[in-house]
Amino acid sequence: MSITIEQNKMLIQMIKEFTANELAPLDMDIDSRGDYPDGLFQKVVKTGLLGMTLPREYGGADFDYVAASEALEKMATGNASMAVTLEGHFKTIEQFIKYGNKALNDKYLPSASKRIFAFSMTEPSGGSNPKGIATRAIKQGSNWVITGDKIMITNGGLAEVYCVLSKTEDDQLAIFVVDKDMPGFKFGKREDFIGLKGVPVGEVVLNHVVVPDSHLLGVIGQGLEIGDNAHADARVLMGAVLAGITEHELQTAVSYAKERKAMDTPLYQLQVTQEKIADIAIAKQNIQALYQKGANDKVAGKPYAEVAAMAKSYGSRSAVAAGDKALQILGGYGYSHEYPVEHLIRDARAMELAEGTIEKMNLEITNAEIAK
């Protein structure tokens, strides 16, 4: 066994333990209270999970996306919210690693194993069309003054560092790094979303926030490219989260179908149930194959944006459909808050929107196919 494989095995074993002990028992509670219980996020920080993908030179563990995505899949099998909180963080620091200048990375990345970083593009006027944003970055000497309103930001309020897509005076898109402690920075409203109830998704308001030149991520005009790259990274990880959610649906359906009887016959012996269980199991395997190909291609340095879009496009729809089948197997109990299936459908549904809607992803997939 290579050292990398051994290390990845260690990580997955630890994540399974952590999930079984700390997250899975709270899954229903997180959904009903609509937040993480006190101390849970701190436990994640203390266990060093925020630094999983961070390079060693910044105090991280430098696990690659093959390991990190599998870790998020296992975590999501117990609780999808915490896996999405980590996804938002991992994909953001990945953009620092790829595009950040040395001064910026030296200043920020050492803290990325202790505090969350977030990526903010969406505005009240819309998320699907980044070119239409209203946030402005005005050059003043060697500083930039940023004003704008970003909404629906994963980990908004929990995160301490934000990458902000802005428009310069000559209408070029650029991303600046903003710290929650900077004058003019304010948290706005937290969304009352129907799923992934643990993840705070909220607004950040920037009113003449001043950042130095070094806080520019990449170069002026590179905003869209970095946004697309962040999407591709996020979609691999969300594919993993969706595989985890589908596994959770499968486990719930299978254990119920074994216990529950219809006219003295366990449900799983009925052909109508078998069809549903097989569909859920196949969906899980397919989602897994797609996100793992995305992760492997990324690690191998190959293009991975298209397969990443497939993992999230196919994965989100399939996880929702699989949840619907699981719900049906559970009958009336499936429709109840007493069982996790209904919240798994709500959780999975978020990923038909977040990090690019299905429509946007399918457009990208089609464009990639046309260009071949």
Partner 1 sequence: MKIVVGIKQVPETDSVKIDPKTNNLERSGIQGIINPFDKNAIEAALQLRDQAGGEVVLLSMGPDSYTSSLRDGMAMGADKAVLVSSRAFGGADTLATGYTLAKAVESIGDVDLVLFGRQSVDADTGQVGPIVAEFLSVPQVTFAETVSLESENTIIAKRQLDSAVQDIKLTLPAVITVRKELNNPRYETPVNMKESFEKPITVWTEADLNLDPSQIGQAGSPTSVTNVYAPTKEVKKTTILPEDPVQAVSELLGKLD
Ligand X SMILES: Cc1cc2nc3c(=O)[nH]c(=O)nc-3n(C[C@H](O)[C@H](O)[C@H](O)COP(=O)(O)OP(=O)(O)OC[C@H]3O[C@@H](n4cnc5c(N)ncnc54)[C@H](O)[C@@H]3O)c2cc1C
Residues of this chain that interact with partner 1 (CB under 8 A) are 3, 6-7, 10-11, 14, 17-18, 47-49, 51-52, 56, 59-63, 113
Q: Which does 62 bind (CB under 5 to 8 A by kind): partner 1, ligand X, none?
A: partner 1
In this chain, which of 105, 154, 252, 313 binds ligand X, going by CB under 6 A? 154
Task: Answer yes or no whether residue 238 interacts with ligand X by CB under 6 A.
Answer: no
Specify the residue, 20 or 278, whose C-beta has the smaller distance to partner 1: 20
Task: Answer yes or no whether residue 119 interacts with ligand X by CB under 6 A.
Answer: yes
Distance in Å, CB of 94 to partner 1, minimum: 16
Task: Answer yes or no whether residue 51 interacts with ligand X by CB under 6 A.
Answer: no
Distance in Å, CB of 295 to ligand X, minimum: 20
Q: Which residue has the tokens 């790829």?
A: 98
Query: Nearest 5 degrees, angle CA 193-CA 197-CA 198?
Result: 135
The answer to whether 204 and 186 have CB atoms below 8 angstroms apart is yes
Q: Would you state the structure tokens that stand for residue 234, as one six-digit string?
A: 């996020």
Distance in Å, CB of 268 to ligand X, minimum: 34
Q: How far apart are CA 325 and CA 323, in angstroms?
A: 5
Torsion angle (degrees, nearest 10) of CA 93, 99, 101, 102: 60
In this chain, which of 122, 288, 292, 318 binds ligand X, going by CB under 6 A? 122
Specify the residue, 9 or 98, whose C-beta has the smaller distance to partner 1: 9
Q: Which residues, numbered 184-203, are part of the site for ligand X (CB under 6 A)?
A: 193, 196, 201
Q: Which residues, numbered 290-329, are part of the site for ligand X (CB under 6 A)?
A: none
Which helix or strand (DSSP H or E) is residue 306 part of?
A: helix 305-329
Q: Which does 202 bind (CB under 5 to 8 A by kind): ligand X, partner 1, none?
A: none
Q: Tell me the window of 28-36, 49-57, 256-264, 351-359 that interacts with ligand X (CB under 6 A).
A: 351-359
Q: Which does 17 bind (CB under 5 to 8 A by kind): ligand X, partner 1, none?
A: partner 1
Contacts 24+ apart (CB under 8 A), 223-227: 223/130, 223/165, 223/166, 223/172, 223/173, 223/174, 223/175, 224/130, 224/131, 224/173, 226/95, 226/98, 226/99, 226/163, 226/175, 227/121, 227/130, 227/165, 227/173, 227/175
Q: Which residue has the tokens 């649906």?
A: 249
Q: Tell me which residue of 94, 294, 6 sits closest to 86, measured CA to CA.
A: 94
Query: Of all residues in the chain, what percent are helix, strand and coil, respectively (each to 5)?
Result: 60, 15, 25
Task: Answer yes or no whether residue 177 interacts with ligand X by CB under 6 A.
Answer: no
Query: Residues interacting with ligand X, by CB under 6 A?
Result: 88, 118-122, 126-129, 152-154, 193, 196, 201, 350, 353-354, 356-357, 359-360, 363
